[in-house]
A and B are shown apart, each in its own frame.
Chain A
Amino acid sequence: MGKVVEISPTTRHEGRSKLVLQVDDEGIITVGNWISVTPVRGLEKAVLGKPMEQVPKLLSRVCGICPVAHALAAVEAIETSIGVEIPADAHTLRVILHCANRLNNHALSNIFTLPDLYIPGTDRKINLFSPEEPMRSIARRIQRIREIAQGITEIAGGEAIHPTNTRIGGMYYNITSRAKQKLTDLAKEAVDIVKTQMDFMIAVLRNFQRRDWTEIGGRQIPIPRNLGYHSEGYLATDSLYGTSSRTSVQSWDPDHLREIRPWNFYMGEVTIDLEDSTYPIGGTTAAGTVVHPKREATNAIPLYNGRPVEVGPRARMALYQGFNEKGTIGQQVARQMEYMTDVHEILNRLDTLNTSGKVLTDPIPPGDGKTLAWATTEPARGTNVHFVRVREGKVADYSMIVPTTWNFPVCSKALSGAPWQLAEVIIRGYDPCVSCATHMIVLDPDKNVVAQNLIR
């Protein structure tokens, strides 16, 4: 007879989510439910009727970690809807911004992942806050990568967090030749650091893969060989930047997309009957607590061809570069391998950037609202799709499917077969950004808000 355990909240990722896990007598997960419980932002509704110029600025506020991804996807989608081609130099600046944001996010993900991993040859976990070596120099290196990435975003995008330079029709300003030179210096500095960081990360990940057990809550938990394996497919729309409904050869087909509600996917009301007070950060939820995953979930479930799909670095590498390693470690390794792509792409694009070039197209049509346009970007965590319809300069429809939304169902499936103590290690493999993935307010049949505490 199985038992139910709940880890709430999950830690070391962006946003608030929880795990409700049905486990067998050995503590192996049979049914995994990973759900978002972050309060709804409601931005998709808030932007309706707003002038299109305002919308990318609003949507970048979905999240403070991937604002660049949302700002870029929003401008690209709106430009597709109104039928505007942006100048080549504006596109170059956007790709630089995009890559810098990815660099920053991968480094951030390293900070979240490293405490799970061991210093090779020892049974000591890596604590980045420790003043001892090698922890201190690892922490310094990661922070320097983030500093460089944010510095590049700041110059190319106007602001390190919410870029101000992006706009409908291109960019507000081109950068000066001096700024280009500064960006090149920063990126060249990053090449070496990032290479070291990539090699280091892959080494400690491989070391974790070779281990038989990992210590969690004072106990040795066996690491299964198939940690995080799933049998679902991958989705990536581009190997680097993204695509839109304008392109003639489509890398995916939005007609195959169906979004279902969480109550058709997650489990119903269950009572927690397994409790472990030794689990890190205050133990798991007390036994006897009644939880209702399908009602509490605030994320939607997108299905592609009727199945959940994985998005992210591994999906990009699998579809475009023939990477075939499965599982959590494979996913993490793919993420580290993208480091070099990002930093070299910044350098390549800087080479082609003409600092005297035009970056704003003219005129900018108001849009006829006939077609629902979409654009995707491929930020750190995977495919970010924005759908929009613009009519007379106002946004008539808006919908977004962000990376972690795609990953919620597939990760829930990937949890099966692993000891429940390792569930968080698996979700960290997806580098979740839960806030972006929040779409639902749960209503009962009479349209009353059930999960009212979520939107207070």
Chain B
Amino acid sequence: MAAPLGQYKMVLFARTTDKEILRGAQNGGIVTALLSYALDTGIIDGAVVAAPSRSKPWRGKFDPWRSEPIVAMTRDQLLSARKTGYNISPNVMMIKEATRSYGLDRVGIVGVPCQIQGVRKAQLYPIGMRGVPDKIALVIGIYCMEVFPYQSIVQIVEDHGGVKMESVEKIEIGKGNFTVVTERGRTIQIPLNETRDLEQPGCHVCLDYAATLADISTGSAGSPAGWSTVFIRTKIGDEVWKRAMQAGLFETKPIGQVEPGLGAVEKLAVEKITRNKKTLEDRDFIGTKGLRNPYITT
């Protein structure tokens, strides 16, 4: 197995059969469908997910471009959290609260690779996380190249793109571009090279693309439109996935059948790792304390 993609038991393309989830999904609706299934069957009591901000309403509703962690305990709450957010949502912050004032015993969590790394570290060294490690029941990772602080998104849209935030209908990052679609149908593409400086600086030292420490990790890379590439990595992930498959929750395609396939995921992973290793080397060169590489990527 290729190291940039981490250890995994199985990789495939999948998409949910649940039409309601799929309608509002970013790609194949994998995360929402899995969590919703886990919630229904009691694998988890609730999940920490990134949902549109409730604290800062926008156009009279929740702000879809500002994600905030919530503890979803119903299917409706999960549905409200569909779609990718591109700003920082501190999900790990809520995991302790989920076991406290929310009273959960089996918590699911969704996160980008660095957050999954945090969750796993908390399980190994539960400092300030008393009673939390054994309550983490399902960890779902999302592929991630980088994230933006909310202010950066405002700057990209309003300054680089030249449109008001309120006009934005859709934001997408992919194929080298930061794409903004307005409600009047205008499409603005900003090359990601231009927005590099606006990314969260921590992302430039991250050596994980495909959430290699999660139970199940998923994302759009490599899969045809409307589908997701899914890695089943751990025993827990395998068990949950098998049960979900038996329940007829997903339709799948074997990975070799469709182009671009696994090669595209690996290409992105290698690209991220190579670029960020260079940042690490540069930091080392200028004397900033080098960071330990938590992944074996050689």
Contacts and interface: CB of A to CB of B under 8 A. Distances in A.
Contacts of B100: 154-155, 158-159, 165, 179
A178 B131 contact: no
A174 B131 contact: no
Nearest to B131: A154
Interface in B58-116: 73, 97, 99-105
B45 interface: yes
Contact of A158 (B45, B46, B73, B101): B101
B275 interface: no
Interface centre among B100, B105, B131 (most CB of A within 10 A): B100
B101 A173 contact: yes
B130 A154 contact: yes
A226 interface: no
Interface string A133-177: 000000000000000000000110011110001000000011110
A58 B105 CA distance: 30
B97 A180 contact: no
Contacts of A181: 103
A182 interface: yes
A101 to B, nearest CB: 16
The 9 closest A-B pairs by CB, nearest first: A179-B103, A182-B103, A175-B101, A173-B101, A178-B103, A176-B102, A158-B100, A155-B103, A155-B100
B12 to A, nearest CB: 35
Given A154-B131, A178-B73, A183 B103 contact: yes
Contacts of A179: 100-103
Contacts of A176: 73, 101-103
Contacts of B105: 182
B130 A159 contact: yes
Secondary structure call for the B interface = loop
Interface in B109-136: 130-131
B131 A160 contact: yes
A180 B73 CA distance: 15
Contacts of B131: 154, 160
A40 B105 CA distance: 40
Nearest to A165: B101
Nearest to B105: A182
Interface centre among B103, B130, B131 (most CB of A within 10 A): B103
A154 B135 CA distance: 14
A154 B102 CA distance: 11
Given A154-B99, A178-B104, 7 more contacts: A154-B100, A155-B100, A155-B103, A173-B101, A175-B103, A176-B73, A179-B100
A174 B100 CA distance: 11
Contacts of B46: 178
A155 B101 contact: yes
Number of contact residues on A: which range applies? 10 to 19
Nearest to A173: B101
21 contacts: A154-B99, A154-B100, A154-B130, A155-B100, A155-B101, A155-B103, A158-B97, A159-B100, A161-B130, A165-B100, A165-B101, A175-B101, A176-B73, A176-B103, A178-B45, A178-B46, A178-B73, A178-B103, A179-B100, A179-B101, A179-B102
Contacts, number: 42
B120 to A, nearest CB: 22
A179 B104 CA distance: 7
A165 B102 CA distance: 13
Contacts of A174: 101
Contacts of B99: 154
A440 B73 CA distance: 51
A180 B103 contact: yes
A183 B101 CA distance: 10
Nearest to A185: B103
A180 B101 CA distance: 9
A158 B100 CA distance: 6
Nearest to B73: A178
A181 B105 CA distance: 12
A158 B131 CA distance: 11
Nearest to A175: B101
Contacts of A158: 97, 100-101
A159 B127 CA distance: 12
B101 A160 contact: no
Interface string A174-214: 11101111110000000000000000000000000000000
Contacts of A180: 103
Nearest to A172: B101
Interface centre among A174, A178, A183 (most CB of B within 10 A): A178
Contacts of A165: 100-101
Interface centre among A155, A158, A161, A183 (most CB of B within 10 A): A155
B224 to A, nearest CB: 40
B186 to A, nearest CB: 43
Nearest to A93: B101
Contacts of A160: 130-131
Nearest to A182: B103
Nearest to B46: A178
A230 B46 CA distance: 56
A175 B46 CA distance: 15
Interface centre among B97, B100, B101 (most CB of A within 10 A): B101
Contacts of B97: 158, 173
Contacts of A182: 103, 105
B55 to A, nearest CB: 14
A137 B99 CA distance: 29
A178 B45 CA distance: 10
Nearest to A180: B103
A181 B97 CA distance: 16
A178 B102 contact: yes
A165 B100 CA distance: 10
A181 B73 CA distance: 14
Contacts of B73: 176, 178
A143 to B, nearest CB: 15
Interface centre among A160, A165, A174, A179 (most CB of B within 10 A): A179
Contacts of A159: 100, 130
A181 B101 CA distance: 11
A161 B128 CA distance: 11
A222 B165 CA distance: 85
A174 B46 CA distance: 17
Nearest to A177: B103
Interface in B132-147: none
B158 to A, nearest CB: 33
A104 B104 CA distance: 22
A84 B99 CA distance: 30
Contacts of B130: 154, 159-161
